[in-house]
Each structure stands twice: as structure tokens, then as C-alpha cells.
Amino acid sequence: MSGPTEPDNPAQRLDARLAPGLAQREAEGLRRQTRTFQRRSATRVQWQGRECINFCANDYLGLAADPRVVAAGEQALQAHGAGSGAAHLITGHSPEHAALEAELAEWTGREAALLFSTGYMANLGLAQALAGKGDSLVQDKLNHASLIDGGQLSRARLIRYHHADAEHLDQRLATAPGHRLVMTDSVFSMDGDIAPLKQIANHCQAHQATLMVDEAHGLGVLGPEGRGAAAEAGLGPAQVPVFMGTLGKALGGFGAFVAGSRTLIDYLQQYARAYVYTTATPPSVAAMVRAGVAICREDTGPRDQLAARIAQFREGAEAHGIPLMPSRTPIQPIRVGEAAPTVALSRALAEAGFLVQAIRPPTVPAGTARLRVTLSAAHSEADVEALVAALATLWK
């Protein structure tokens, strides 16, 4: 006669189902973990009792800690409180949000703009709202995860073309059914290269396809007034009718926006679920971004400083035989190959006082693990010189 059985424990059953996946990531050297930083400035972080120069943030213009940006946020915090309290379409839309949308539209040369709480949500909302059953959503193979996930969540047919290969895109468009929406990053976040936007726009026009460009890593950094890679390529609203930008990288704040025609923005307000059904960012965040946009437009100094640091890093790395990927943006990856030596290099750099992120699969394809160096206008010449020297020693 068998004894009493243990009562079913749903939590333990779930843990037992999930544990093998965690063990696999651990065995492959791919398990991610958060790190807590006790103090952070524009280029310094304190971690595990040591101060490191930060070379893995996306604060490209150093605006996140700019006193003008911080002061704008503090003033709005006093006026509007800590949170928005609701979605934009309920009571969450403040005068700061409205002013920011108008300024973003004017800056990017579009009729209107719409704020989203994150870039990820903006891309999910765009794909879901603009492509449906019977349509084709055509994307670069190295697009950001948010674009890929948006394509998979939409009911459209997801078609991929070879990375930055405009001719392969042309072939894909020739056989793609229904309405065709092409979505591409402008600057690719893990490679640092720039999409051939002019050729892509020409192929879209030839096939009557709609082009959406994600300027997450181009906005603030490239083009006149920092308007992005599309503007640098001479493309306006007619060629790029759907423009997405993030506010938490070069602009030093948080959130994202889509800019385009008034009809597009009104349509997204009705049908983009990631906009309709989420809480608006705090008004203080919108105020900080407004200050960041004004600085970006009016002051070329940070962009000039950033360009100087990029050139310095590339010249120094090449002089020491450190293999760089082709990039003229703040994203300067050093491809290592396998995950284990990449992590080892990252840890050695941290011990030497430099925070450089190891990027491993599944973020990048297998066999292409890399160190992702990101540069900021706030880095000094001495900061970059010291990093190059440390890399040169470790690379040998």
C-alpha cells in the first residue's frame, strides 16, 4: 500500500520546467545577470567598490547628466508631480507631452508626432497597426529585436532580407504579396553600421512599398541638427513616411516617438495598442527631453566632440592591430568570436577600470560575440587613450 502523496505545488512544478533552460544558458556561458551600480555620472560608474570609466552606455551626447536637462526635469517635477497617472488618451497627456510632440515633429520635418513609453513599444505598435493579414512586413536580418518581434506579432507575412543588402531587398519586394511595409534600423545597434537608406528608399518607391526607419541610434548623432541617418542621406517625409526615434539615448531622457503625417499619427492613436493601452511617461521626463532636443539642435559642440572621440578610438585601435568593424558611429564593436573569451576580456577590462559590455548570442549570431564599445561626447581624450592602451595589452 503506497503512502500519502505529496500535494501538488504549482510553483515548484513551474520552477522544474524552467530550470533546464537556465542550466543550458549557464553551460553555454550565455546567462545574463543585472549589475547594480552604486553611483553613475556621464562617464563614470561605481561597481563592486571600484570606479570604472563607462564605455557601454548609449548616452552619446552626454545629455543624461547635463545640468540644463536635469533642471528642466526638476522644474516639471515640482509642477506636475512624479507620474502621469494614466494613458495619454485618458488623463496622462500633459502640456509637456503636447509641447514635446510638436517640437519633435518640427525637428524631424513631419506634420505630427506621437509619444510612446518605450522604443520597444513603438515598434510593436507600428508593426501591429500598419501591417495585417495578407500584407508583407519586410525587414533587415539584423534589425533590433523589437522590430522582429513586432513583425512576428502582426498577422502580416514576415520576410527578411540580407543585412544592409538593398538589392536583396529589391528581390524580396518583387515577390512580396499585399501591402509592403519595409522596416529597418538606420544605425544597427550591435554592428554600428548604417543602412543604405537611399537605395532602400528607391526600391520602396519602385515597388510602392512604405518605408519605416528606426532612428534609435542615429537621432542626435547623424545628419543636420542631429536629425538622423535618413536626413543625412537627403531623405524626407515623402521617402520615409514613418519615422521612429528614441528619447533615452542621445537625447538623455526616456521614451520614444513616431513622426509622420497627421493621418498616420491619428491612425496610430486609434489602432496602435502599445500606445492606447499603456501609461504615459511622466511629464518631467518629457520636459527633460525637450531640453535635450533644444541642446541637440542649437549646439553642435557635443556632436563635434563625439566625432573627435570616435576618430581617436578608431585610429588608436587600428594602430595597435585591434580589429574593428566598419562603423563611423559611437558604436564601435570588436568582434572576438566565441562567448567565453569575449566575457573574459570584458571582465579583465572591468578589473582594469573600464566597463565594456560583452555581447553574446542570442543578441548576435553564434560565432560573432563581441565587445561593444560605445563612445560619448562626455568622454575625455585621456579616457579614450587609456581604454585603447588597456585593449592593446589585453588583445595581445
In CATH, what number is assigned to the domain containing residue 390?
A: 3.90.1150.10
In a domain, 71, yes or no: no
Of 24-33, 132-141, 283-292, 293-302, which gets the smallest average pLDDT? 24-33
CA 188 to chain centre: 8
Q: In the predicted model, is pLDDT for residue 25 greater than 60? A: yes
Q: Which residues make up each annotated binding site for substrate? A: 32, 144, 363
Contact 271, 241 (CB under 8 A): no
Long-range contacts of 93-98 (CB under 8 A, 24+ apart): 93/280, 94/280, 94/283, 94/286, 95/283, 96/283, 96/284, 96/286, 96/287, 96/290, 97/280, 97/281, 97/283, 97/286
Residue 396 is among the residues annotated as catalytic for this protein? no
Residue 41 is among the residues annotated as catalytic for this protein? no
Contact 314, 356 (CB under 8 A): no
Do 286 and 386 belong to one domain? no
Do 376 and 269 belong to one domain? no
Report the alpha-carbon distance of residue 115 to residue 207 in Å, rounded: 30
Do 361 and 308 belong to one domain? yes
In a domain, 63, yes or no: no
In a domain, 73, yes or no: no
In a domain, 42, yes or no: yes
Do 329 and 252 belong to one domain? no
Report the alpha-carbon distance of residue 53 to residue 329 in Å, rounded: 19
Average pLDDT over residues 177-182: 97
Do 374 and 316 belong to one domain? yes
Do 189 and 316 belong to one domain? no
Q: Which residues make up each annotated binding site? A: 32, 119-120, 144, 189, 217, 246, 363
Do 220 and 102 belong to one domain? yes
Residue-wise pLDDT for 224-256, tens only, equals: 999 999 999 999 999 999 999 999 999 999 999
Q: In the predicted model, is pLDDT for residue 1 greater than 60? A: no
Average pLDDT over residues 263-272: 98
In a domain, 245, yes or no: yes
In a domain, 225, yes or no: yes
Given the residues 80, 97, 203, 249, select the one marked as catalytic: 249
Q: Which residues make up each annotated binding site for pyridoxal 5'-phosphate? A: 119-120, 189, 217, 246
In a domain, 165, yes or no: yes
Residue 189 is among the residues annotated as catalytic for this protein? yes
Do 121 and 174 belong to one domain? yes
Counting the structural domains of the chain, the total is: 2
Q: What is the 3-state secondary structure (H, E, C) of 294-329?
A: HHHHHCCHHHHHHHHHHHHHHHHHHHCCCCCCCCCC
Given the residues 203, 217, 327, 346, select the one marked as catalytic: 217
| pLDDT score, position 122 | 98
In a domain, 117, yes or no: yes
Contact 210, 240 (CB under 8 A): no
Strand pairing of 331-337 and 369-374?
antiparallel
Q: Which of 297, 312, 329 is the last residue of a domain?
A: 297
Domain that holds residue 163: 86-297
Radius of gyration of the chain (CA): 22
Do 376 and 365 belong to one domain? yes
Three-class SS of residue 94?
Answer: coil
Do 206 and 305 belong to one domain? no
Given the residues 117, 189, 346, 376, select the one marked as catalytic: 189
- The angle subtended at Cα 226 by Cα 170 and Cα 317, nearest 5°, is 80
